[in-house]
Amino acid sequence: MTGLPERTEKKLGLVIDLDTCVGCHACVTACKGWNDQGYGVPLSDQNPYGADPSGTFLNRVHSYAVQLVDAAAQIINFPRSCLHCEDAPCVTVCPTGASYKRAEDGIVLVNEDACIGCGLCAWACPYGARELDQAAGVMKKCTLCVDRIYNEALPEEDREPACVRTCPTGARHFGDFADPESKVSRLTAEREGFALMPEMGTKPVNRYLPPRKKDRPEEASLLAPLLDIKATGLAGWLDRVLGKI
Amino acid sequence: MNPAPSVVIFTVLSGLGFGFLALLGVFGSAGMAAFFLWALGYGLAVAGLVASTFHLGNPQRALLAFTQWRTSWLSREAWASVVTLLLFAPQAVSDWLGLEWGRGFGMAGAAMAFVTVYCTSMIYAQIRAVPRWHHWTVPAVFLAYALSGALVMGAVRPYAAWMLVLLGIALALHWHFGKSAFARAGASMESATGLGRIGAVSVFEQPHTGGNYLMREMIFVVGRKHADRVRMIAMVCSVMLPVLALMFIPGVAAVIVAVAVHLLGALAQRWLFFAEAEHVVGLYYGAH
């Protein structure tokens, strides 16, 4: 079970547009809301109304300041969740076979009934995509909303991950990376989508789209059009006389 | 990484236990002494293995950990430890009751004991996301601890002293390569976010105001502050003092002193092994 499939028929995953994301955390809330009552045990919180609240989330939104070489710094909001890696180290380290990658669509899942909660898969993941639920003692991770995307009880427009469905700015896209004509493949090609930490050798499926280049402020003075005016009449005469003194 | 007491005790005690069992397996013992020595070896190894289940979220399903030996070092370790303990059993009975069954089981068990310790070390050494662990010096240190600890316990004086020196060298190499491991792995905030292509990255705001599992488990920073001091304690206690004790204290007292300080040093080393290891996920939180 914890052997990785040699290849998967589909490569389902997400494209996250760092240009469009406004950091509203709606995807975090939608993810927690859906996965709290769907696949597997709920995502528990510890001491949620106390002084030191903590809880299990499958998606977190970071904010970074990026200092450009030749322009002002930018704030980039950065959602982080499972990348459904092709060479997923979290799968091969699992001693019980609870962690697996599906041959049909490439989704990396945890069979919670077989999970002993040793936490080794979370250690093996470079991206912090897995969190051990403190109430149930089993590993939780993004399921790509496997209980939505194939769910014929839902209207067709809802058959995508909750984070994608809810994103108010359209910064998240869901699709099949194995199909070069899919929306996610085309977006990745057009916008030079990239993978995170390729040096870890995990071959992530998800792609991030870099922020677009911003307009640059004008180099010249904002008063430029006024500075160029030639004085005429009385002002012109004064200008000439005063210039000679 | 979080130095959970259960994993520190697990790796130290089971390493020492399996090393000592290997020594008994090869050289043997006789009579009631054999009974107590074998019981001591089994006690250490089993106590370590039992401790390892304390940090599990669902230990009642631990038997499933035997199923994935094809890919998982943790599963291989489970198999290797059980096979080793079973192989030693007839040898222990033979030694105790003087049955003269030869040393075949003991020899095979000794080989498997070191396979077990190797598997334990590979649970950590396989993890690329923790660059300090992803290195051949990790199995070297684990194996050197098992062997030298066993020789000290067995009071095999000259060999014990030489093996302790080798342990010291292994530790020095492990710490030396550990210093530059993170840089060599090539991960940075720029590669973690992929934003290095547009500029230099720093944290503007964390994704959550409280702590979470990732931060508690993988961004443990207390150990790094005192790393040099703990390294010193580990080197002095697990290598230098036992060598001196074996050289200058006569009789059984030397063994008791040497084993006690060696064990203390081993616990310090193993605590630091976890506490100072940096996980690349820390980069997302601006920690490293």
Does residue B145 lie in a domain region?
no
Tell me what pLDDT residue A231 has. Answer: 78
* Confidence bin at B114 (pLDDT 50/70/90): very high
Lowest mean pLDDT among A127-141, A218-232, B8-22: A218-232
Backbone torsion region of residue A209, taken as left when φ is above 0, otherwise alpha when ψ lies between -120 and 50, otherwise beta? beta
Strand-strand pairing, A12-17 and A207-209: parallel
Contacts of B123 in chain A (CB under 8 A): 120
pLDDT for residue B14 is more than 90: yes
Number of domains observed in the structure of chain B: 2
User: B225 or A164: whose pLDDT is higher?
Assistant: A164
Q: Which residues of A touch B68 (CB under 8 A)?
A: 1-2, 94-97
B251: left (phi over 0), alpha (psi -120 to 50) or beta: left
Cross-chain residue pair A199–B187, CB shorter than 8 Å: yes
Q: In chain A, which residues have their Cβ closer than 8 Å to the Cβ of B213?
A: 54, 56, 122, 131-132, 134
Nearest CA in chain B to A55: B212
Instruction: Clarify whether residues B113 and B169 are in a common domain.
Output: no
Give the closest-approach CA distance of B34 to chain A in angstroms.
35
Q: Of A66, A80, A117, which is closest to B56 when you measure between CB atoms?
A: A117
One domain, residues B93 and B40: yes
**B265 within a domain of the structure (yes/no):** yes
Residues of B in contact with A132 (CB under 8 A): 57, 213, 217
Let me know whether B93 and B11 are in one domain: yes
Indicate the residue of B73, B74, B194 with minimum beta-carbon distance to A208: B194
pLDDT, position A76: 97
> Using one digit for the tens of pLDDT, what is the confidence trace for A82-135?
999 999 999 999 999 999 999 999 999 999 999 999 999 999 999 999 999 999
Say what the pLDDT of residue B85 is: 96
Q: Is residue B153 part of a domain?
A: no
Average pLDDT over residues B130-144: 97
Interface mutation vs chain A, best among B6, B63, B212, most A CBs within 10 Å = B212
Please report, rounded to a whole number, the percentage of residues in chain A having pLDDT higher than 70: 99
Q: How far is A220 from chain B (nearest CA, A)?
A: 25
| pLDDT for position B220 | 76
In degrees and rounded to multiples of 5, residue B57 shows phi and psi of: -75, -30
Shared-domain flag, residues B62 and B182: no
| Best A29, A76, A116, A138 residue to mutate vs chain B (most B CBs within 10 Å) | A116
Greatest pairwise CA separation for chain A in angstroms: 95
pLDDT in tens, B74-106: 999 999 999 999 999 999 999 999 888 889 999
Clarify whether residues B113 and B18 are in a common domain.
yes
Chain mean position to CA B260: 17
Q: How many CB atoms lie within 10 A of CB B87?
A: 21
Minimal-distance CA residue of chain A relative to B52: A118
* A64 with B193: Cβ contact below 8 A: yes
Query: Under a CB-based contact definition with an 8 Å cutoff, are residues B163 and B20 in contact?
Result: no
User: Does one domain contain both B250 and B172?
Assistant: yes
Share of chain A above pLDDT 90, in %: 81
C-alpha–C-alpha distance, residues A167 and A38, integer Å: 20
Q: Please, are residues A22 and A167 in contact by the beta-carbon 8 Å criterion?
A: no
Which of B281, B283, B285, B288 to substitute to test the interface with A, most A CBs within 10 Å? B281
CA distance A187 to chain B (A): 17
CB B194 to CB A92 under 8 A? no
Q: Which residue has the higher pLDDT, A38 or B179?
A: B179
Distance, CA of A74 to CA of A211 (rounded, Å): 9
**Domains of chain A and any CATH numbers:** 12-209 (3.30.70.20)
Separation between Cα atoms, residue B231 and residue B227, nearest integer Å: 6
CB pairs < 8 Å spanning A and B: 202
With beta carbons under 8 A apart, name residues in chain A contacting B66. Answer: 95
Q: Are residues B93 and B194 in the same domain?
A: no
Could A124 and B129 be called an inter-chain contact, meaning their C-beta atoms sit closer than 8 Å?
yes
Does B276 lie in the same domain as B182? Answer: yes
Q: Are residues B286 and B170 in the same domain?
A: yes
pLDDT greater than 70 at residue A57: yes
Task: Decide if A64 and B56 are in contact by the 8 Å CB cutoff.
Answer: no
The torsion defined by the Cα of B173, B178, B179 and B180, in degrees rounded to 10, comes to 110
Do B213 and B99 belong to one domain? no
Residue among B72, B127, B186 minimizing CB distance to A94: B72
- pLDDT the model gives residue A89: 96
Per-residue pLDDT reduced to its tens digit, B158-190: 899 999 999 999 999 999 999 999 999 999 999
Q: Which residue has the tokens 């009385």?
A: A234
Domain interval for residue B23: 1-126
B210 in the same domain as B118: no
Beta carbons of A65 and B204 less than 8 Å apart? yes
Mean pLDDT of all residues in B238-260? 92
Q: Domain ends where: B85, B107, B126?
A: B126
Between these two residues, A230 and A200, which has the higher pLDDT value?
A: A200
> Among B1, B64, B213, whose Cβ lies nearest the Cβ of A96?
B64
What ipTM was predicted for this assembly? 0.93
Same domain, B179 and B272: yes
Q: What value does the mean pLDDT of chain B take?
A: 94
Reported confidence tier of residue A1, pLDDT bands at 50, 70, 90: low
The Cα–Cα gap between B59 and A115 comes to 9
Residues A41-63 have a mean pLDDT of 95
Cβ neighbours of A153 (radius 10 Å): 7
Q: What is the pLDDT of residue A127?
A: 97
From B113's Cα to the closest Cα of chain A, the distance in A is: 20
CB contact under 8 A, A74 and B199: yes
User: Do A110 and B58 meet the contact criterion of CB atoms below 8 Å apart?
Assistant: no
pLDDT of residue A223: 77
Residue B138 lies in a domain: no
**Does B148 reside within a domain?**
no
Per-residue pLDDT, averaged over A35-57, amounts to 92
Helix or strand (DSSP H, E) at A46: strand A45-46
Confidence class of residue A219 from pLDDT cuts 50, 70 and 90?
confident
